[in-house]
Amino acid sequence: MTWSRAIGSGLLALAAHGVASAEQPAIASLLKPLGLRGYPAGVRPPHFTAPTLDDRTLDLAGLRGRVVILNFWASWCLECRPELPVFEQLHRELGPRGLVVIGVNNREDSTTVRRYAGELGLSFPIVLDPDGKVNALYGVIGLPSTFLLGRDGRAVALAVGPREWAGASGRAIFDAMLAEPMPAPARETR
């Protein structure tokens, strides 16, 4: 199922609102302790390509085969600050197993973002979104907002507001997602 057929354009956050998860039962049951909203099976998040703080380009499609934490934040967001070091810890510890943390900054200039990321010692990729296009694409309505994406590129869960990502419940979700098999390579079409 494609993203556009499953939901419509630009409102990934609404897909999880009030929808019982059709995810794999093991993962679906792990979402509840953290108050995460699951997505129906087969929902794909919107694709984006965007510049990063280190002057690269991040292409979401290039992360297929990895478990992705996509966290939307801003330096002025008081609830965002405690989560970012936790995401850095997860990035360092679980990165070798296939976890990728992507921070998407909400409408701030690169100088502000660079200074803030430096203060917190962040090394994971940070997407710059000064005009809010990626935020709008994902239907972000509050910060922090965090989307979990499976190895096969599907949308797994959404959290609006902070969570205890490094606690036992968060670790159980990431362990289960990382234990999923790698997706089959995409076939070439000619």
Kindly report which listed range (16-25, 28-37, 95-104, 126-135) carries the lowest average pLDDT score: 16-25
Question: Cβ(140)–Cβ(46) under 8 Å?
Answer: no
pLDDT in tens, 25-66: 789 999 999 999 999 988 999 999 999 999 999 999 999 999
Kindly report which listed range (15-19, 46-50, 66-70, 166-170) carries the lowest average pLDDT score: 15-19
In this prediction, residues 111-135 reach a mean pLDDT of 98
- DSSP 3-state assignment of 56? coil
Q: What is the C-alpha to C-alpha distance for residues 116 and 181, in angstroms, rounded to an integer? A: 36
Six token digits for residue 126: 């940070």
Domains of the chain, first to last: 3-179 (3.40.30.10)
Rounded to a whole number of angstroms, the distance between the first and last alpha carbons of the chain is: 22
**Bridge partners, 123 (sequence order):** none
Band of residue 188 on the pLDDT scale cut at 50, 70, 90: low
Q: Is the pLDDT of residue 21 over 90?
A: no
In this prediction, residues 11-36 reach a mean pLDDT of 68
Q: What is the mean pLDDT of the chain?
A: 89
